[in-house]
Structure 1
């Protein structure tokens, strides 16, 4: 049974468990609360809170997620007390003298983090804000100051915005949580970069993936299990198209949950994989769900709840639930909800998932034949302003009073200043505007004539959206005329993610992500 109490005014969850104490201090703040231009401030503060601890003889770590930041520890009661007391002290008075060191460490961490196709799903659904920010690099790190860190800590890492969880029979003696007062932060309202769903986008990876948003409920948990069984049966056992098939279910903090599924394939079977994946979704959507699959999925969930330390294992999620206003339910309630799920309930979830679906398909393939709309990769309109002809003779840059457009034939990318999530600024004059919808306009001044004066862009975009980046190496900067000559880079897409632009609309031969 999970007991609810308080420690220093912080809601606390306590569950019995054998062995060392497991504890975590969870805050309702994460990447989705940032802006693109200040992306990374939460992660930086997490590092600063842990750095003074040095080397520890027990397990301890910090995590920055989309909606939550956590500090977790496993050890003896005295070790847990020392860890949590120290973390709280560092959050109250961040050791800002370590910002430069931790910034370098975060840069190394960023460069080593894989950014696969699945990591781009939030960007395509939400764009370059709130829940979509997890797809982007930590652009804000170079410009974050000590004052920025202190303000973020004082307003987000507070007593009112935290929940503590612990295993054991009692709260360890001497535990204090000296956090500042503050209010509970609401979950950011998810934005949408998709005009219509179901939608799809294509990517170079050899897999098919589904991202859907459904109401949070037991039936959706069970449906994730049913979907995995159906995909495994169809794509691996029957057709031999896939080796790895998996599904996932994650609450989003606002009475909804993310339902995901993916399957991989060899390069020569990707077309067949897409067809089989879509057919499986359609089979479930029209209600062809076997009672036996429902029974197996429910039984597996009930088995997990039967573990002797099931309550202790649930503590991290229960802390997140409490922070987002969801009740902490006991095991009997969860078992009853699972047992009550019917096949008709699963059919309803299948239809809901199909209606909100975002499908990732391998590069070169489409899914419009199956009723999915292509997610936008270009803008619908252009700005009016001064035109600059590209030196490739077919692209054009337009700098207007309300935004910037780069066009190449019918392919158009526009970012308006009011909708600019971040303006990346290089000392050599290059600029990249990233719109809230994820559309990117990258401008290399040397590649247009007359050479544009981008001072109007700098002045028009709000200062808190500017990101000043280090100088690029000489070979990354296109030379001025007449050395440039004719260029012929074609437009493929203007969505950006990871450390590079997947493809962008600009008359340039270099990779602007370098």
Structure 2
């Protein structure tokens, strides 16, 4: 049974375990609380807090997620007490001498980490703020200062914004959580970058991924298991189309949860996997959910609740519930909720899944045929302002008092200053404005006939805390107009040459005539050489031979010209 107590003003959850003691200190702060110019500050602070511990004989780690940050440790009672005491002390006395070293470590970590298949989904659903931050690179690392980190620690890493959990029979002796006073921070409200759902977007990944937002409840988590069973049976066992098939149910902390499903595909099987994926969803939507799948999912959940370590294993999730204001249920309450789940409940969940669905499809594919709307890649409006033409191309940049727009072949891209998540600023004058909806406008003074004061005016209009200075670029990395035009032209597929009906017959006739006359010319030439020195009266034969060879070349010209045209 899980007990709740208090350690130095920090709410604490305690549950017995038969294994080694382990503990975690979790704070209600994560990437969703950051802004784009400060992206990475929580992760950097987590690394700095652990840096003084160095090498140790016990297992410890830190994790930064979307809405929480946790410090974890497994070992002896004395080790856990020393670890958590040191973390609380270091968080508010960070080893700033290691600031640049830890920044480099994070950059290396980011570059060496592979991109998950579903990495871009939060960006498409939420945009460039709150829960969408996890899709973006840690832009803020270059400019974060000691003052920024101290302010962040003072606001978020407080005893009122923390929960301690311990898998063990008691609180370790000597444990001190020396955290300052603060306030419990709510989970940020979820934004949306999707005008409507269900929606889809193409991605370079080989996987098909479905992301949805559902009410947090037991039936929704059980449906995730049922969906995985149905996809595994259909896409892997029966059709052999996919290997990796997974689903995930992740509470968001605001009464809702993300429910996600993934199926991988070989390039030549992407069409079939996408079609099979959508067929599975359609089958479940019309109520064709197998009772056997529900029974199997419920049995698996009930088995997990029957283990001796069930309460100890639930401690991390219970700590998050306490942080976000969600009610923690007992094991008996969870069993009762599982027994109450019916096929009708799952049918309600699949309707929620479909109504909020965001489908990631492989590049070159669509899902509009299945009732999904393409997620927007451009804006629906432009600003009113001064127009600046591209030096090469048909694009137009509009700079107004409330925002900027780029109008080009792909439609308008608009970022209003009040809705600008960040402006990336290069010393050479290059600017990239990223809107809350993740649509961006890139401005290069070398590519537009800009007024000298246009960039300055944009800088003045964007709020100062959204500015993100970028390092100087070498001259060869600064875009030039003709190089940019050549790249655009090479990226566009060339239009196919229209074939005339008479081309092939003409080439055939030309070939036959060339072979015939060429053969005659060759025989005449050989006969003249075999006959030996010609008399003066036979000189006219050489003239005939020369004319025949010239006619042979002329007859062959249509073949050469038409083949070149077709290539």
The answer to whether TM tops 0.5 is: yes
Q: State how 1:53-202 maps to structure 2 within 5 Å.
A: 53-202=53-202
Q: Say if 2:297 is the partner of 1:287.
A: no
State the partner residue of 1:365: 365
Paired residues of 1:117 and 1:203 also in contact (CA < 8 A): no
Q: Matches of 1:490 and 1:336 in 2, distance apart?
A: 64
Q: 1:385 to 1:491 in 2, by over 3 A?
A: farther
Cα offset for 1:456? 1.0
Q: TM-score if structure 1 supplies the norm length?
A: 0.93
Shift of 1:165: 0.4
Q: SS at 1:447's partner residue?
A: coil
Tell me if the contact between 1:392 and 1:488 (Cα under 8 Å) persists in the aligned partners.
no
Query: Residues 246 and 490 from structure 1, CA distance in 2 versus in 1: closer, same or farther, beyond 3 angstroms?
Result: farther
Q: How many residues align?
A: 490
Q: Shift in Å at residue 491 of structure 1?
A: 12
Give secondary structure in 1 for the equivalent of 2:166: strand
Counterparts of 1:225 and 1:321 in 2: how far apart (Å)? 22
Q: 1:425 touches 1:432 (CA, 8 Å); kept in 2?
A: yes
Task: Give how far 1:396 is off.
Answer: 1.6
* Aligned equivalents of 1:212, 1:486: Cα separation in 2: 40
Aligned 8 A contact 1:128 1:438 in 2: yes
SS in 2 for 1:20: coil
Note the C-alpha offset of 1:478: 2.1
Deviations 1:102-155 (A, max 9, x none): 111111112122223401110000000000000001111111111111111111
Q: Is the 8 A contact 1:48 1:94 kept in 2?
A: yes
Aligned to 1:475: 476
Larger radius of gyration between Structure 1 and Structure 2: 2
* Alpha-carbon distance, 1:429 to partner: 1.6
Give the match's secondary structure for 1:326. coil
What is the distance in 2 between the residues matched to 1:194 and 1:478? Answer: 32
Structure-2 residue corresponding to 1:265: 265
Aligned-partner Cα distance in 2 for 1:357–1:490:
36
Q: Which residue of 2 aligns with 1:401?
A: 401
Q: Is the 8 A contact 1:411 1:491 kept in 2?
A: no
Q: Which moved more, 1:405-414 or 1:253-262?
A: 405-414
Superimposed CA distance per residue, residues 278-312 of structure 1 (whole angstroms, 9 cap, x where no aligned partner): 11111111111111110001111111112211111
Higher relative contact order (CA 8 A, sep 6+): 1
Structure 1 unaligned residues grouped into runs of 5+? 493-514
Which residue does 1:430 correspond to in 2? Answer: 430
Mark the CA change 1:278 to 1:111 in structure 2 (over 3 Å): closer, same or farther.
Answer: same
Structure 2 stretches lacking a partner, 5+ long: 492-567
Compute the displacement of 1:410 (Å): 5.3
Question: Separation in 2 of the partners of 1:254 and 1:25?
Answer: 21
Cα deviation 1:215-268 (Å, max 9, x = unaligned): 111111110010001111111112221111110101110111110001011111
Partner of 1:455: 456
Task: Give the superposition deviation at 1:22.
Answer: 0.6
Separation in 1 of the partners of 2:187 and 2:110?
25
| Residue pair 1:16, 1:169 contacting (<8 A) in 2 also | yes
Corresponding residue for residue 328 of structure 1: 328
Quick one: distance in 2 between partners of 1:194 and 1:225?
Answer: 27
Shift of 1:95: 2.3
**2:192 is aligned with 1:229:** no
Q: Distance in 2 between matches of 1:490 and 1:113?
A: 33
1:339-350 mapped onto 2 (5 Å cutoff):
339-350=339-350
Distance 1:183 1:212, change over 3 A: same
Runs of 4+ residues deviating >6 angstroms: none
Query: Counting helix residues as a fraction of each chain, which structure ranks higher?
Result: 2
Q: Which has the larger strand fraction?
A: 1
Aligned to 2:465: 464
Shift of 1:484: 4.8
Q: Is the 8 A contact 1:391 1:486 kept in 2?
A: no
Deviation at 1:485, TM superposition (A): 7.8
